[in-house]
Every structure is written in structure tokens, then in C-alpha cells.
A = this chain, B = another copy of it.
């Protein structure tokens, strides 16, 4: 007998018929003798419907009120799942964020969970009930309704699992798990059986959109084992957990890519302290998020190059700022490219294995792909390349690192 938290996402609860499928899976887990807390998202399409209403009401809907509106989606789902479970003869109660004190800060639309009242949930479990919880929502100190951002129900599930010290947190979704790369561009892509939190964080933030990044941070912080799996069949998915000794055997876990990249380089600017600060102050004042930043000395004495990447949407504004500052600072040139991609290799094994970087660069070179920028972290190497080479780069890296064999 275990204590399990399950989370079902939007496509798993697209209509009432799907709720019945979810209920059957919940009941099966319960009848295996487990205590069970089930977190649900809004029905597929519901959040978009509510957002449309909000933008009809105002082009810039008030943050606080938008959260009150959006929270109804998960509230309805939790009630419907409880109704279905009850009609199948199982004792159940649904709970909203404020009812089990999913406490958050007051950052409407992207609130962070600060606490969960485990005692209330334990009391229901002791009564033999299945507890259904509306995901995505919480309550701030003043009693206002808050929401956790897209994918926030993942974080709700992990936070509850952490508060209850649950044995397992299962995230049911419409994919089979986390893959070594996107199967739609690389036929050898392979489901990863076990992956560490750190790797998952790098994978998620780099575009493998399976779990909300914040939920992985939460799981890592509290040591919650997360099982990402499909709600449409019975197969095992991917276990996200503490790094294990075995994992280091696998040097690279996956190849991810992000095609929403643009690159600007301010070339040959007179090198003196503070030029980078001047420049990035201006960029951040325009509310633009910069990803990679590289500053290098130029070949010409006393000159430097500053290059950075931003998302394509921020490209025009960033370019304007760069051009104006380049003039001011006396830079010789501004190079701008807006069709870029970032390719990343992720793996905890990199910590103890050398040679990943050189193999990556060599593989790309062999395909004639020019590397425009490089950045590295402890468990990740990223290269910026021309976007048109994305698929080629992903496939050849995936093959070069033998990811098609699987790591399980």
C-alpha cells in the first residue's frame, strides 16, 4: 500500500467520456490498496475559452480578476471527476486551492506555492476517501485566488506529493514520456526510462515541454519521484528522480532544440569596463529576456565583441537598441541574424566524462554546420546555428551519441 498523487491534464479530461476513463484508472489504483490524491486540470479548450472571454472584456484584463476567472476551469473539472467517481460508488471529495490551503505568493498568473495543508488531506484519506484537487490554483495570504501559470497543475501535484511525503507522483499526459529528442524530426528518438531532476530541468527549459519547469524544481527540492506517463495506455513512462549512480554511465541523455532564436552581435566596440552593463541595462528596461551572452576580445587591440541571443519576437526592438547604443559606444558594426536555432546536449554524465563538447562540435563540423555561439553548463552544452540546419543537427547528434539505443 502506497500513497500516490496522480495528475491528469487537459486532453485526459477533454470531455465527460474521458473523465470516465480517468475514473477507471483512479479506481484501479485505489483498489490495489493505495491511498490516492488526484489533481485535475481544466478540460481541454476551457482555459482558452475563458481567456477569450477575458480579452473580449478587456484588451488588458486585470491580473487578479483573470485568475478568479481562470480558476473556474479546474474547479469544474474537479467537481466533474468527483461526480463520476461518486456515481461509480467510490467515496470522494473535491477540494479547491483555498480549501486545502494551497498557499501562494501574490504573483497573479504565475504564483509560487509556499505551503499545502497536508492535515486536511490526510483526514480525508483516513476516512477512506479519494481526494480530488483542482490544480493550477491557490490562495495568497490575503485570501485572493491565484493561479500558477500554464502547466501549473503539474506543480500542484508535486507540491501536494511533497507535503504528504507521497511515495509517488504520477503525471498523466498525452505523450508516452520524455524522449531523447523530438520523435517527429528524428525517427530514432527513444523514450528515456529514468532521468535526473537536473537533466529534466535542462530538457524542459530548452523546449521539451512535458512538465512545467517549476514542478521539476519543486520535485528536486523535496525529493519527489515523478512518473510522467500516458493517460491513453498502460505502458511505463519516464521516471524523474534523484541522480543515480547508473545514470552517469549514460553520458548524454537527450538532444533538445529551440528554433525561436535570434542573435545580435555588436562587433569591435572599444573595450572598457561597464560596456556590457550599459548595454544590457537598456535591453532589460525594454523588458526583453536575453538568453545567451558572450563577450570576447576582438583581434584588434582594445576592442571587444558582445553577442547575445533573444527570442524572435524581441528581435526588432533589440536590434534598434543595439544599433543606437553601438553608435553611442563607437562600435564598428552590428551583426543581426533572426533565423537561428539553439541545439543542446543534456546529460549528468558530462560531469565525469570529457570529450562531449569536442564530439558535438566535430559532428556538426562534419555536416558542414557552422557554430555561431557556444555556451556550457555542468550538464549541458548548447550551440547556436542557422535554423535551417536544425533537423540535420539533431539527427546527426542523436546518432553520434548513440541515443537511439535507449538508456533503460
Q: Which residues of A contact B (CB under 8 A)?
A: 16, 19, 50, 53-54, 56-62, 64-66, 68-69, 71-72, 75-76, 78-80, 82-84, 86-87, 93-94, 96, 98-99, 143, 145
Given A56-B16, A62-B82, answer yes or no on A72-B68 (Cβ-Cβ < 8 Å).
no
The 8 residue pairs across chains A and B that have the minimum distance between CB atoms: A58-B87, A69-B79, A68-B79, A72-B72, A16-B56, A62-B86, A65-B82, A57-B83
Closest chain-B Cβ to A83's Cβ sits at a distance in Å of 4
Which residues in B have their C-beta under 8 angstroms from that of A69? 75-76, 79-80, 83
Docked-complex contact A83 and B98, CB < 8 angstroms = no
Docked-complex contact B86 and A75, CB < 8 angstroms = no
Closest chain-B Cβ to A6's Cβ sits at a distance in Å of 18
Which applies to chain A's interface (DSSP): helix, strand, loop or mixed?
A: helix
Pick the contact of A86 from B56, B65, B82, B98 — CB < 8 Å? B65
Which residues in B have their C-beta under 8 angstroms from that of A78? 68
A-B contacts, 18 of them at CB < 8 A, read A50-B76, A57-B80, A57-B83, A57-B84, A58-B83, A58-B86, A60-B87, A62-B86, A65-B79, A65-B82, A65-B83, A65-B94, A68-B82, A68-B96, A69-B79, A69-B80, A71-B75, A96-B145
Which residues in B have their C-beta under 8 angstroms from that of A93? 64
Docked-complex contact A75 and B80, CB < 8 angstroms = no
Closest chain-B Cβ to A363's Cβ sits at a distance in Å of 52
Docked-complex contact B16 and A57, CB < 8 angstroms = yes
8 additional A-B residue pairs with CB within 8 Å, beyond A66-B83, A69-B75, A71-B75 = A57-B87, A61-B83, A64-B93, A68-B82, A68-B96, A69-B79, A75-B75, A99-B143
Pick the contact of A80 from B16, B54, B76 — CB < 8 Å? B54
Closest chain-B Cβ to A134's Cβ sits at a distance in Å of 9
Which residues in B have their C-beta under 8 angstroms from that of A54? 79-80, 83
Closest chain-B Cβ to A121's Cβ sits at a distance in Å of 13
Docked-complex contact B61 and A87, CB < 8 angstroms = yes
Which residues in B have their C-beta under 8 angstroms from that of A94? 65, 68
Q: How far is the CA of A298 from the CA of B65 in the complex (A)?
A: 67
Question: Nearest chain-B residue to A50 (Cβ)?
Answer: B76
Closest chain-B Cβ to A65's Cβ sits at a distance in Å of 4
Which residues in B have their C-beta under 8 angstroms from that of A71? 75
Which residues in B have their C-beta under 8 angstroms from that of A79? 54, 65-66, 68-69, 72
Closest chain-B Cβ to A73's Cβ sits at a distance in Å of 8
Docked-complex contact A84 and B68, CB < 8 angstroms = no
Closest chain-B Cβ to A128's Cβ sits at a distance in Å of 16
Q: How far is the CA of A16 from the CA of B61 in the complex (A)?
A: 13
Closest chain-B Cβ to A23's Cβ sits at a distance in Å of 9
Q: How far is the CA of A328 from the CA of B59 in the complex (A)?
A: 73
Closest chain-B Cβ to A25's Cβ sits at a distance in Å of 16
Which residues in B have their C-beta under 8 angstroms from that of A87? 57-62
Q: How far is the CA of A297 from the CA of B72 in the complex (A)?
A: 60
Docked-complex contact B64 and A84, CB < 8 angstroms = no
Docked-complex contact A53 and B16, CB < 8 angstroms = yes
Which residues in B have their C-beta under 8 angstroms from that of A86? 58, 61-62, 65
Closest chain-B Cβ to A28's Cβ sits at a distance in Å of 19
Question: Nearest chain-B residue to A82 (Cβ)?
Answer: B65
Question: Nearest chain-B residue to A142 (Cβ)?
Answer: B99
* Max chain B Cβ within 10 angstroms of own Cβ: one of A66, A75, A80, A145: A80
Closest chain-B Cβ to A362's Cβ sits at a distance in Å of 56
Given A16-B57, A19-B57, A56-B16, answer yes or no on A76-B83 (Cβ-Cβ < 8 Å).
no
Which residues in B have their C-beta under 8 angstroms from that of A62? 82-83, 86-87
Q: How far is the CA of A33 from the CA of B179 in the complex (A)?
A: 62
Q: How far is the CA of A388 from the CA of B268 in the complex (A)?
A: 97
Q: How far is the CA of A96 from the CA of B98 in the complex (A)?
A: 12
